[in-house]
Amino acid sequence: MTAVIAALAVILAASAASGAAAGATFRPPAIKHVWVIMLENESAGYTFSAAGRSQAPYLTRTLPAMGALLTNYYATGHASADNYVAMVSGQAGNLPLNADCANYSAFHAIASRSFGTWTEYGQLAGEGCVFPADVPTLAGQLDSHGDSWREYAQDMGIDARRDGTVMTKLGPACGHPPLGGSDPTDSSSPANDSYATRHNPFMYFQSIIGARTLCDTHVLSLAPLAPDLQRAAATPSYSFITPNTCNDGHDWPTCHDGTPGRLPRVDAFLKQWIPRIIGSPAYRSGLIIISFDESGLVGDAGACCGEVDSVGYGDPSHPNINEPGLYGPGGGRVGAVLLSPFIRPGTISTRDYNHYSQLRSIEDIFGLPHLGDARQPQVQSFGPDVYTRAAG
């Protein structure tokens, strides 16, 4: 019996090693265009429950039947800004980011005795909201690689004084408060303007807001999205779509205009835009990622993929805050829906992923190195459990 158990252990170890090797050698399909649509403040346990399905059948039934449902996809923190920053840079949260940067403060680096200013996994030690120009971002990676990108932020520019936007030939652009000032979009919104800086991740990097032409041509309102979709050549390689705080499900039970909010508005927004993206020429080699920034459950700090609780200063992963998820290690299980010609309809993946996995996966698609916490060995890219269909 002992010999049998030993033999079985060898077989299982070999199988695990084979699986790890397969994961290490997996190459994503030939995706050329990625769209990320980020929604707000719902747990997977609610969104994909009977109650959630009744409120948002398009998101919870129709779209998973067309693509893949990632049941164990996690947010990395609370409240909003830290999650969005993580998605495009791999930088973990700090106290001001976890408080949504009501004061739009510059990040101040603080060297540690144990690791200096930069940690093993590319975290800049310190505190603040707007990272200095030497902190790399996915946007900068794409620019250097010759790939295009755009942020499409709904409602940005309706009130230029409130949003800090400028008017360009492409419309409102680069909306953010003055550095060091308060963020008016962090408080209650007027009925006709639900743009929130904290849901626009690119506004937290000096490399973007400090480059006027770059920001004005890449960080736009939602209006240019429809014409950009008409031709593959005009469609960015990477598009980040930020609905307003009504259509992303943030505002509930009613939106600022008095209409019902939460998941029904999410469903209406997706019904409007997903068919347009799927019908675009670029989608033939495309990937759509739909998820939530964080769980809406107070105190939900569920996490995966290397996130740990009370790590303390000096940890190689999170030097800036004891609990990167504010209440604990993460931002809760939120789930994700992915659509692509490279995904077999009805795919379900139970593998653990988080916002750093999203970043890592997009970097893999475009042949880019991994940034920040996307470099952690516990963080995995989307693999053959997600990409379940060959091209054509």
The tens digit of pLDDT for each residue in 251-276 reads: 888 888 788 889 999 999 999 999 99
CA 196 to CA 83: how far, in whole Å?
A: 14
State the average pLDDT over residues 369-388: 96
Give the residue, 22 or 341, on which the prediction is more confident.
341
Does residue 206 register a pLDDT over 60?
Answer: yes
Domain range 36-375, its CATH number among 3.40.720.10, 3.40.50.300, 1.20.1070.10, 3.30.390.50: 3.40.720.10
Backbone φ and ψ for 291, nearest 5 degrees, come out as -155, -175
State the average pLDDT over residues 366-370: 97
Kindly report, residue by residue over 48-60, the tens digit of the pLDDT: 999 999 999 999 9
Angle, CA 369 vertex, CA 225 and CA 78 arms, to 5°:
65
Does residue 311 register a pLDDT over 80?
Answer: no
Does residue 387 register a pLDDT over 60?
Answer: yes
pLDDT the model gives residue 119: 83
Kindly report, residue by residue over 67-97, the tens digit of the pLDDT: 999 999 999 999 899 999 999 999 999 999 9
Per the prediction, the chain carries an average pLDDT of: 89
Give the residue, 165 or 308, on which the prediction is more confident.
165
Give the pair of three-digit tokens for residue 93.
């949260």
pLDDT-above-70 percentage for the chain: 88
pLDDT the model gives residue 253: 85
Does residue 9 register a pLDDT over 60?
Answer: no
Q: How confident is the model at residue 345 (pLDDT cuts 50, 70, 90)?
A: very high
Does residue 371 register a pLDDT over 60?
Answer: yes
Q: Where are the domains of the chain?
A: 36-375
CA distances from 129 to 85, 95, 168, 319 (A): 9, 9, 26, 15
pLDDT the model gives residue 315: 52
Q: How confident is the model at residue 169 (pLDDT cuts 50, 70, 90)?
A: very high
Q: Quote the pTM value.
A: 0.91
Does residue 11 register a pLDDT over 80?
Answer: no
Name the amino acid, one letter, at 35. W
Dihedral through CA 152, CA 156, CA 157, CA 161, nearest 10? -140
Helix ranges (DSSP H) in 120-203: 138-145, 160-163
pLDDT the model gives residue 357: 98
pLDDT the model gives residue 2: 41
CA distances from 225 to 15, 39, 270, 361 (A): 46, 17, 14, 23
Does residue 115 register a pLDDT over 70?
Answer: no
pLDDT the model gives residue 21: 41
Does residue 305 register a pLDDT over 90?
Answer: yes
pLDDT-above-90 percentage for the chain: 73
pLDDT the model gives residue 242: 98
pLDDT the model gives residue 189: 65
Give the residue, 199 or 327, on which the prediction is more confident.
199
Beta strands in 71-170 (DSSP E): 73-74, 108-109, 126-127, 149-153, 166-168
Lowest mean pLDDT among 157-166, 207-216, 231-240: 157-166
Does residue 313 register a pLDDT over 60?
Answer: no
